[in-house]
Structure 1
């Protein structure tokens, strides 16, 4: 599996471009938070097959408009955030850029084959009610649920300290897996 990380936007969100291999002609995007032109340039001539969102906050969806011609996946509990200035925490950065609607709603246990990579969706509520982690082999894209040495805040709309604790306990059963968080460096569970 080939994973490219771009750190984008004012809160340094990790956007990932993922494919089977470096020379594979299809990719999917995880959390296009900002700087659409930079993401598009990094994709180059490769075909985008989907955009996956770990949750609906503004800093993970800010460049979504640039990928509206492709399938957009989000958990149904976070879908309303895409165009709600308050729910998406966009008011924090005065970001009210319109987002396209999601075309696909995923849930716990969904399996997808995208750009030659098989992924499994794990619901990990706490940072938001619809937060998910994306498992791919021995790697987990954790969004804002789990960072290197920390976890996501729970004081924004839809956050729950009790739920994130349960989600973290679940993630910690994946000992040895590498995490690709929504902010900051990768880490090993």
Structure 2
């Protein structure tokens, strides 16, 4: 069986252990910040997908804010760009791409059935920061309205526990 990794944070060994020998079919990124791409180097042989607006964050730590954490490793570049409404069939799983700018210009969510991987767009009872370069409160409001319309869907955020959209 193949696996798809979403937002490989910082611990490549922990992710590899969780893979339990499965081949990585692709790596999907909800956005390009360092805390969502830190272990990307360990999976550079797999196709890497990100929204084009956030692609520069992979190759320049200035854009990914890695300088703030001391994480200045250059990430492998994207091999594919994500667009709103795109459907990816990876490892037998259908991922519907939703453009959800606000935290970054290129933030996306991945909808799989009734599950949504929201990255830093939506958390349990909260939403992502919009005060960093590339963030926009206006864009975030529009993205959140779009997500709030998906009542009953389970969210899996990039940080903290999940929740159900009510």
Q: Mark yes or no: TM-score above 0.5.
A: yes
SS in 2 for 1:86: helix
Calculate the aligned-residue CA RMSD, in Å: 0.7
Partner Cα distance (1:159, 1:89) in 2: 13
Segments of structure 2 that go 5 or more residues without pairing to the other structure are: none
Partner Cα distance (1:161, 1:91) in 2: 24
Mapped pair 1:33 → 2:23 = no
Deviation at 1:159, TM superposition (A): 0.5
Q: What are the Cα deviations for residues 57-104 of structure 1, in whole angstroms up to 9, with x where unaligned? A: 000000000000010000000001112222111122111011000001
Contact persistence 1:82–1:101 (CA under 8 A)? yes
Deviation at 1:160, TM superposition (A): 0.5
| Equivalent in the alignment of 1:139 | 115
Partner Cα distance (2:22, 2:57) in 1: 29
SS in 2 for 1:87: helix
| Equivalent in the alignment of 1:104 | 80
Partner Cα distance (1:60, 1:174) in 2: 24
| Equivalent in the alignment of 2:145 | 169
More helix by share: 2
Equivalent in 85, 93, 115 of residue 117 of structure 1: 93
Partner Cα distance (1:60, 1:154) in 2: 16
| Equivalent in the alignment of 1:81 | 57
| Equivalent in the alignment of 2:135 | 159
SS in 2 for 1:165: helix
| Equivalent in the alignment of 2:67 | 91
| Equivalent in the alignment of 2:126 | 150
Equivalent in 20, 41, 46 of residue 65 of structure 1: 41
Segments of structure 1 that go 5 or more residues without pairing to the other structure are: 1-24
Contact persistence 2:61–2:74 (CA under 8 A)? no
Using the size of structure 1 for normalisation, the TM-score is 0.86
Q: What are the Cα deviations for residues 5-39 of structure 1, in whole angstroms up to 9, with x where unaligned? A: xxxxxxxxxxxxxxxxxxxx111000001110111
Q: How many residues align?
A: 165
